[in-house]
Amino acid sequence: MNLIAQRPFLGVTNSALGRIWRDRLDAAGLGRAEALSQVEGLPDIVARVLAGRGVEAADAMRYLEPKLRDLLPDPSTLVGMDAAAARLARAVATREAVAIFGDYDVDGACSSALLAGFLRDAGARPRIHIPDRLIEGYGPNSEAIRMLAAEGATLLVTVDCGTTSHEPLAEARRLGLDVVVLDHHQASEQLPQVEALVNPNRQDDLSGLGHLCAAGVVFLTLVATARELRRQGHWAQRGAEPDLLASLDLVALATVADVVPLKGLNRAFVRQGIAMLRGRTRAGLAALLDVAGLDGPVQPWHLGFLLGPRINAGGRIGDAGLGARLLMTADEIEARSIAAELNRLNQERQEIEKLAVEEAVAQAEFALTKTEDLPVLLARSADWHPGIVGLVAARLKERFRRPAFALALNGEGGATGSGRSVAGVDLGRAVRLAVDAGLAVKGGGHAMAAGVTLAPGQDKAFHAFLAERLAPEVAQARESESLLVDAAMSAGGANPRLLAEIEKAGPYGAGCPEPVFVFPSHRLVDAVEIGSGGHVRIKLRSGDGATIGGIAFRVAQEPLGRALLAARGESVHLAASLTLNRWGGRETVEVRVIDLARVA
C-alpha cells in the first residue's frame, strides 16, 4: 500500500474501538480526486468521496447519474435465460397456473411479488408460496410442492432459492411440473435437472452479474419474457405491456435489504427505484412507510433500516407470507392492516432479539477468554427463535469484528443457524465445503452471509471446520482492519447543501461504503444515553463555536458508548457519517457516530 495511505489519519492508532484510522485515498486516489475536482468542477469533498470508490474523472457524470438504459444488459447474457423466458412466455400464452416458491426474506418477498404481478397482468394465473421458517425451513420442500401440484400448478418457479434443492425439484418433475429456478446464491458444479436455471453465480455463467440480488435476476427475466411475448405478438392481442419500470421500487428494496454490492446495474436499480418509492404508488409500501413514521423523502438507508426489517419480521416470527401479500395488494385498507401487523411483529422481534444477543455476547466473551484469537465465533441456544439467529450473528460480528454464527437448537439436538462475515472472508463458500465434507445437512449463501442446518452432534465439528478453514482469511482481515476516512470537516461546514452534493455520489451500501468524515479536535459538549435501545445522543462544538448534534445507535453498554460518555466535556476526534434531520419544517445535518479518539 502507498505510504500516504499507511500514515494514520490525525495520528490515530488506537481509537475507542481499537482501530487505526487511515485516509481512504492513497497517492493514486488523491490524483483521481484532484482530477475530479479540476476537470468536473466537483466540490473537494465530493471529489474525494468519488475517488475513494474508484471513480475516474472520465466516468464521473455517468456514475453520478446511473441510467438503466445505459447499464441494462441483454438478459440473454445470463446462462439459461432464453429457456426461462420461453417457458414463462408459454405459461402466459396458455394461461397456466404457475406456482411461485419464494424465500421468506425481503428479497424473496420482492422477487415473488415482482414475478406474480407481471404474470397476473400478462394473463397467467400465479400463486405465491412462502415457506414457514419453523415448519418447512429454507428453500423448496417436497411436501409443499406436492400441495402446489395438487392445486393444479403445471409450472413451478423458485425465486431466491432452488439452486441447491436437488431432491425437492426432482420430486416436482416426478409430479409432472416443469421447473424454472431464478436465484443468485452461490452454486456448486452439480445443478438440479430443471427446464431452466438462471443464476449469475452458477459456475458456468460468464455474464459478470453475480452482484445482483434475486429480484434483480427476476427483473431481467421479465425483460426477456416481455421481449419473447412481444415477438410472439402477445401484446398486440392483449393490449399494453406491463410497465416494468414501475416495479423498480421492489428491485431497489430487495437490492438494499439483501446487502448486495451497490455497483453497476444495482446502482441504477436503487436510484430509479427510490424515485418510484417516493411516489408512494404501491399501496403496501406506502402503508409500511406510514407505520414506520417516515414523512420525508425516502432515502436508500430507509430501505435497509425501516422497510426491510418490518417485511422480514413476518418471515422471522410470524406469517411468512405477509410480506409478499403486502407488496401485491392494491387495497389500501388491506395494506394498512398488513403493515400494522408487520410493525407489531417487528417490535416483538426486537424484544426477542435483545435477550438473545445478551446471551450470545456472554457466550462469545467466555469463548474468547479461553482462545483470544478464535477466528470464528459460534453461539447456540435452545431458547432462541430460529427467525432471529441471523440478527444475533450480525450483532456478534459487529461487536467482535470477526465472522460469527448463531444456532437455534431444536429438541432433537440438531440446529438451524445463520452466520455473518467480515470483508475478505467468504463464509458462504466455507459452509458449502462443510456440507460437502458431511459436517452439515445443508447450507450455503454468500460471502458475507450464510445459513446452515445441522444434525444432532454436528455443531462442534462444524465450528472447528470453519475455524480451521477461515483462520488465514480472518487473520489477514483483522491485520488490515482499519477505519477508512474520506475527509475531515467541521461542525459549521456540515450543512444541508453539502450533504445534498455528497448524496449525489450514492446510493451507499455494500460495495459502495457510506462516506466517513472526521470532525477533528471538536469538544464533546454533551453525551447522554437515551431511550430503551441503549442509544447515545451527542453534541459537538468546533473551535469557532459552531455545533452539530448526532447519535450513536445501540452502543451505551458497548466500548464506543462508554468512551463517548466518559469523554463528555473533552476535545475529541469524532468519526461519523452524515444524515439529514427534518423537524418542525427545518432541515439540519446530524452525525451518526462511528468511532472516537481522544486528542493527544
Mean pLDDT (10-residue bins), the chain, 600 residues = 64 93 94 93 92 93 91 97 98 97 96 98 96 87 97 97 95 97 93 97 96 98 98 91 96 95 94 95 97 89 94 92 97 98 95 94 95 93 93 94 95 90 92 94 87 94 96 88 93 93 90 94 96 90 96 90 95 96 82 94
CA angle 271, 272, 275 (to 5 degrees): 95
Of 78, 271, 295, 307, which is closest to residue 182 (Cα–Cα)?
78
Strand partners, 527: 538
Sheet holding 178-182, edge to edge: 125-129, 97-102, 155-159, 178-182, 196-198
* CATH entry, 371-479, from 3.40.50.880, 3.10.310.30, 3.40.1550.10, 3.40.190.10: 3.10.310.30
Write down the residue that cell numbers 432541515 correspond to: 587
Residue-wise burial string across 312-346, b where 16 or more C-beta atoms lie within 10 A, e elsewhere: bbbbbbbbbbbbbbbbbbeeeebbbebbebbbebb
pLDDT of residue 2: 45
Of 449, 114, 53, 73, which is closest to residue 262 (Cα–Cα)?
53
Residue 380 contacts residue 360 (beta carbons within 8 Å): no
CA angle 147, 153, 159 (to 5 degrees): 85
Fill in the amino acid letter for 531. Answer: G
pLDDT of residue 478: 82
Beta strands at 571-583 and 547-552: parallel, antiparallel or unpaired: unpaired
**Where do the domains of the chain lie?**
3-52+486-598, 70-278, 371-479
Beta strands at 487-488 and 517-530: parallel, antiparallel or unpaired: parallel
Residue 249 contacts residue 498 (beta carbons within 8 Å): no
The pTM for the full model equals: 0.89
CA 222 to chain centre: 22
Residues 6+ apart with CB under 8 A from 160: 102, 103, 105, 107, 108, 111, 182, 183, 184, 185, 213, 214, 215
Residue 268 contacts residue 275 (beta carbons within 8 Å): no
Q: What is the CATH number of domain 3-52+486-598?
A: 2.40.50.460
DSSP string, 15-41: -TTS--EEES--HHHHHHHHHHHHHH-
Residue 331 contacts residue 279 (beta carbons within 8 Å): no
* CATH entry, 70-278, from 3.40.190.10, 3.20.20.140, 3.90.1640.30, 3.40.640.10: 3.90.1640.30
Three cell numbers written together for 467: 475455524
Residues 6+ apart with CB under 8 A from 472: none
pLDDT of residue 296: 81
Q: What is the DSSP letter of 73?
A: P
pLDDT of residue 356: 96
Strand partners, 454: 415
Give dist(CA 45, CA 247) in Å, integer: 34
Residue 51 contacts residue 32 (beta carbons within 8 Å): yes
Q: Where are the alpha helices (DSSP H) in 427-558?
A: 427-436, 459-479, 496-503
Fill in the amino acid letter for 313. Answer: A
Residues 6+ apart with CB under 8 A from 36: 42, 46, 47, 50, 51, 55, 57, 60
Beta strands at 449-454 and 442-445: parallel, antiparallel or unpaired: antiparallel
Beta strands (DSSP E) in 272-403 are 377-381
Q: Sign (positive/negative) of CA torsion 88, 92, 94, 97?
A: positive
Burial zone of 165 (CB within 10 Å; 0-12 exposed, 13-18 middle, 19+ buried): buried
pLDDT of residue 531: 83
Phi, psi of 260 (to 5 degrees): -90, 160
Size of the chain, expressed as the number of residues it contains: 600
pLDDT of residue 1: 42
Write down the residue that cell numbers 421481449 correspond to: 227
pLDDT of residue 6: 62
Residue 234, SS3 per DSSP: helix
Strand partners, 588: 581
Beta strands at 535-541 and 517-530: parallel, antiparallel or unpaired: antiparallel
pLDDT of residue 4: 46
Residue-wise burial string across 223-250, b where 16 or more C-beta atoms lie within 10 A, e elsewhere: bbbbbbbeeeebeeeeeeebebeebbbb
DSSP string, 168-223: HHHHHHHTT-EEEEE--S---SS----SEEE-TTSTT--SS-TT--HHHHHHHHHH
pLDDT of residue 337: 98
